[in-house]
Structures are given as C-alpha cells and as structure tokens.
Amino acid sequence: MNHPVSTLFPVADDTLIVGGQPLPRLAARVGRTPFYAYDRALISRRVAQLRATLPPQIKLHYALKANPMPALLGHLAQCIDGVDIASAGELKLALDAGIPPDAISFAGPGKTAAELAQAVAAGILVNIESVREIPLLAAASQEMGVPARVALRVNPDFELKAAGMKMGGGSKPFGIDAAMAPELLAAIGQTGLAFEGFHFFPGSQNLKSAAIVEAQQRSFALAVELAAHAPAAVKSLNLGGGFGIPYFPGETRLDIAPIAANLAAIAADAALALPRAEIVIELGRYLVGEAGIYVCRVIDRKLSRGQVFLVTDGGLHQHLSASGNFGQVLRKNYPVAIGTRIDHDCRETVSIVGPLCTPLDVLADRVQLPHAQPGDLVVIFQSGAYGASVSPQAFLAHPPVVEVLV
Ligand SMILES: *Cc1c(COP(=O)(O)O)cnc(C)c1O
C-alpha cells in the first residue's frame, strides 16, 4: 500500500515547497545534506487549530523530549502554556528558551539527587515517581529554604488502550502505583513539601479518540478519589496526552472533537470537585511531528537481482525512527517522496537505504516512487519528532545531521 504524499507541505512544479522555498533552494541554503527542516508556520497552525477545538480552560504543555531543538522550542514558547521536561539537560533548554519556571514540570524515573536539587533551585514542579525522591526533595528544600513544588505521578490501574507505547497500568517503572498513592501523599505532607497535584501519562501515539477519552475520564476520577488523601488542594491536574499522528499506510488522523468535548465535561466537573485545579494536557509529537521533514540525497542507484536500491547519504544513524528501529515491532515505511519529482508518473519499486554497513539501515522498503537518480533529494515526512535526538549519530562516524527551523 502506498502513502499519499503529506498534504501539509505545498507542491509547485513537481517540487516540494518547504518554508516558502522550493526544496533544492532550501538544501542549497542549508549547505549540505542530510538535514531536518521544521516549519514554524505549520507548528503555529497546529497549536492554533488545537486551541480552537479544546475548551479554553485547558492548558497546553509541550513534552520537550519529542524535539529539543532550541530554535523550535523558542518558537513554541510563544504559543504554549508550559513545558514538560525529563532531565536536567531539558531543564536548561526550557529555561534558556525563556519558559517561566512555574510553567515547567519534571517527570521521569531515575531522577538523580543533583537533578532534584536543580529542580528545587529552579522553582519548577517535580512529578514524584518514587518514594526515594521524597527525602531528597525535602533535603534540597531545607538547604535552599524553599519548599519543593511537587505533584504525584500516578501509575493507574488501567491501561491506555490502543496506544503505540504503554506507560501506565500494570507493573511500570513510571509513576507510583495508585494503591500506594495515599501512603506517599501522607509522606509528602509530613515532610513539608508543597503539594500541588497529580500527573497521569498512560501512553503515547494513540489514534483512537475513544481510548484517550476513556483514559482521561478514569484519570480524572482517580484524581478526585486521591485528592481526599492529599495534604493540600489540587492546583494542577495533568491528564497526559498520547495524541498520535498517522505514520503508516492505513492509519487515519486522530479525531480531536470527542476529546475536546470530554475535556469540557471534565473541566465542568473539576470546577466543583477540584475547584482550584488547572487542567493540563501534555503533547509531544502531535504538536511538531507533522511539521518536520528529513531530507537526504541519493548517492547511488544500484540493481541487485532485480531490486532497485537508492543509496542515500542519510540513514538510521540520523533517523532511527524511520528505519523502524525505535519501538516498531514489524517494520513499516514512513511516508516518503522524491522532493523534486513529486508527481512524476514514471514510477518504479525501490528500496531506500543509508550508507551504514548493516541491513537495518533501511529508510523505505519496496515503495513505489518516481524514477530517481543520484543527486535527487529524498524526503521523509512525519519527521518533526523523535528524529535527530533519538538517533545514534556517532554510529560509523558520519557527520552529525543539521537541523533548521524554517
Ligand atoms: C514521551 C512523553 C510525552 C510525549 O509523548 P508524545 O507521544 O510525543 O506526545 C509526554 N509526557 C510524558 C510523561 C512522556 O514520557
């Protein structure tokens, strides 16, 4: 099955237009291939569409791990309400981008004592996900004379159905099992930490709005139940995200309308049950994934026993996700195009591979594409999230990939 070429990027004269420029012109200005290009207008449009659909009470956070490029973060900082980080390195990126500390929250297992102390010093919200973090936060609070701002990340007793990656329900390294939450809430109260609320993140890459609606309803109900054990009023209720984008043939776009309607109902209930709570959702790939492309150049065109291979200067060392080696069980192709021959009808079946000496270095396996030659630009769509930063760029000592915001 073939992908339709992404409709978010315009095409003129058979050539993809990126950031208002024909792709070869952009490649010339970047100066070398491969590169990632992220389109700021598409990011702004995505945020604006989402805001127009969601109820106004909902705060929109960006999960920095999806794409930590500083310029992109600086752009997003203008249009979102906060950022979720998962390391001291991401804390620095967020603060450098001008995100105010009260709009930053810190989740993740295995936070070190040093990271927790940095978080307290910065004045950001820490999502506690281990009993171990409580005395460390208390010590840092005492040392700095400011109480640590904390929320409890809860591992609920349900799963996010149909999620690409499940991060809640059952035995997980993330969050505190719901059954243990009352005990930790008591400990938070006894140690004098500033309790502010709850965090849920049951899973990622979900294209089924009914599953997201159900997870948000159950997370909200659990938060109301646990609030009875909390040492202070709930000021922040982060219901997670998990909004997916279509990557593979046959996948359809997530329908946001039912999620928005459900969040409006939750906001109305929260006004009574948790009257001081601000409701937050945190999104990564949904905000930036479709606004980014990966561009590499065809170096060679080879024929092996009847199969055509386009060998490019890009590969899994720079785009691990598109190679299928970042969490895919059965390898599937990302949407791909020849950037200067978008609509040519002289098509053939080709595989696009990278320059690495491993059979895993496949960017597209047996796809129908216009006939391409060395020098042509290959474009991989849906590449704005989990691209450069998740890729093993040191593997085989090729130069690092360039990233541009256009
Ligand atoms: C990874 C992660 C996200 C972002 O996930 P996306 O699928 O990119 O939206 C958000 N919150 C937490 C806690 C995460 O671990």
> Is residue 49 assigned to a domain?
no
> Is residue 50 assigned to a domain?
no
Q: Is 212 in the pocket of ligand 1 (CB under 6 A)?
A: no
Token pair of 227, please?
A: 């609030």
SS3 call for 126: strand
Looking at the fold, whether 275 and 237 belong to one and the same domain comes out as yes
Instruction: Please tell me the residue having the least CA distance from ligand 1 atom 4.
Output: 284
Backbone phi, psi, residue 343, to 5°: -105, 10
Token pair of 403, please?
A: 């990233």
Instruction: Return the closest-CA partner of residue 237 out of 105, 79, 123, 138.
Output: 105
SS3 call for 211: helix
Looking at the fold, whether 72 and 162 belong to one and the same domain comes out as yes
Q: Is 241 in the pocket of ligand 1 (CB under 6 A)?
A: yes
> Looking at residues 278-297, what average pLDDT do you find?
98
> Is residue 258 assigned to a domain?
yes
Please determine, for residue 4, whether its predicted confidence score (pLDDT) is greater than 70: no
Query: What pLDDT is recorded for position 1?
Result: 43
Which atom of ligand 1 approaches the CA of 205 most closely?
7
How far is residue 74's CA from residue 96's CA, in Å, rounded to a whole number? Answer: 9
Please determine, for residue 254, whether its predicted confidence score (pLDDT) is greater than 60: yes
Ligand 1 centroid to 218 CA: how many Å? Answer: 19
Token pair of 55, please?
A: 């109820």
Q: What's the whole-number average pLDDT of the chain?
A: 95
How far is residue 16's CA from residue 20's CA, in Å, rounded to a whole number? Answer: 10
C-alpha distances in angstroms, 384 versus 153, 267, 307? Answer: 27, 31, 30
Please determine, for residue 366, whether its predicted confidence score (pLDDT) is greater than 50: yes
SS3 call for 28: helix
Query: pLDDT digits over 206-216, tens only?
Result: 999 999 999 99
Buried b (16+ CB within 10 A) or exposed e, 139-150: bbbeeeeebbbb
Please determine, for residue 267, whether its predicted confidence score (pLDDT) is greater than 50: yes
Looking at the fold, whether 243 and 370 belong to one and the same domain comes out as no
Choice from 50, 155, 201, 386 to test ligand 1 binding pocket (greatest atom count within 8 A of CB): 201
Which residue carries 């035995």 as its tokens? Answer: 171
Instruction: Please tell me the residue having the least CA distance from ligand 1 atom 7.
Output: 204
Ligand 1 centroid to 150 CA: how many Å? Answer: 19
Backbone phi, psi, residue 289, to 5°: -60, -45
Q: Do β-strands 59-63 and 125-128 pair in parallel, antiparallel, or remain unpaired? A: unpaired
> Looking at residues 297-303, what average pLDDT do you find?
98
Specify the higher pLDDT residue, 3 or 27. 27
Q: How many independent structural domains does the chain possess?
A: 2
Q: Is 317 in the pocket of ligand 1 (CB under 6 A)?
A: no
3-state secondary structure string, 97-109? Answer: CCCCHHHEEECCC
**Cis previous bond, 249, omega within 30:** no
C-beta of residue 64 within 8 angstroms of C-beta of residue 51:
no
How far is residue 73's CA from residue 91's CA, in Å, rounded to a whole number? Answer: 12
Looking at the fold, whether 230 and 296 belong to one and the same domain comes out as no
> Is residue 86 assigned to a domain?
yes
Between helices 133-144 and 181-190, what is the axis angle to 10°? 20
**pLDDT band for position 7 (50/70/90)?**
confident
Q: Is 106 in the pocket of ligand 1 (CB under 6 A)?
A: no
**pLDDT band for position 5 (50/70/90)?**
low
SS3 call for 27: helix
Looking at the fold, whether 268 and 307 belong to one and the same domain comes out as no
How far is residue 178's CA from residue 31's CA, in Å, rounded to a whole number? Answer: 52
Which atom of ligand 1 approaches the CA of 84 most closely?
11
Report the CATH number that the domain containing residue 144 is assigned in CATH.
3.20.20.10
Q: Which residues pair with 35 in a beta bridge?
A: 295, 402
Ligand 1 centroid to 12 CA: how many Å? Answer: 35
Instruction: Please tell me the residue having the least CA distance from ligand 1 atom 5.
Output: 284
Domain boundary among 242, 262, 283: 283
Cβ-based neighbours of 335, under 8 Å, separated by 6 or more: 3, 4, 5, 6, 247, 380, 381, 382
Token pair of 72, please?
A: 């992109």
Instruction: Return the closest-CA partner of residue 139 out of 120, 155, 152.
Output: 120
Instruction: Return the closest-CA partner of residue 210 out of 161, 280, 156.
Output: 161
Domain coverage including residue 354: 11-38+290-405
Looking at the fold, whether 216 and 84 belong to one and the same domain comes out as yes
Domain boundary among 260, 283, 306: 283
Cβ-based neighbours of 328, under 8 Å, separated by 6 or more: none
Q: Is 385 in the pocket of ligand 1 (CB under 6 A)?
A: yes
C-beta of residue 362 within 8 angstroms of C-beta of residue 309:
no
Backbone phi, psi, residue 164, to 5°: -65, -40
Query: pLDDT digits over 41-66, tens only?
Result: 999 999 999 999 999 999 999 999 99
Domain boundary among 233, 251, 283: 283
How far is residue 398's CA from residue 120's CA, in Å, rounded to a whole number? Answer: 39
> Is residue 112 assigned to a domain?
yes
Ligand 1 centroid to 216 CA: how many Å? Answer: 15
Report the CATH number that the domain containing residue 305 is assigned in CATH.
2.40.37.10
> Is residue 157 assigned to a domain?
yes
Looking at the fold, whether 329 and 366 belong to one and the same domain comes out as yes
**pLDDT band for position 167 (50/70/90)?**
confident
> Is residue 1 assigned to a domain?
no
Query: What pLDDT is recorded for position 6?
Result: 67
Looking at the fold, whether 322 and 364 belong to one and the same domain comes out as yes
> Looking at residues 166-194, what average pLDDT do you find?
92
Query: pLDDT digits over 88-128, tens only?
Result: 999 999 999 999 999 999 999 999 999 999 999 999 999 99
Looking at the fold, whether 335 and 308 belong to one and the same domain comes out as yes
Region of poorest pLDDT, from 4-8, 115-119, 219-223: 4-8
> Looking at residues 165-180, what average pLDDT do you find?
87
Looking at the fold, whether 248 and 349 belong to one and the same domain comes out as no
> Looking at residues 125-153, what average pLDDT do you find?
97
Looking at the fold, whether 247 and 171 belong to one and the same domain comes out as yes
Looking at the fold, whether 156 and 255 belong to one and the same domain comes out as yes
For the chain, what percent of residues have pLDDT higher than 70? 99
Please determine, for residue 315, whether its predicted confidence score (pLDDT) is greater than 70: yes
Total residues belonging to the chain: 406
Choice from 43, 72, 84 to test ligand 1 binding pocket (greatest atom count within 8 A of CB): 84
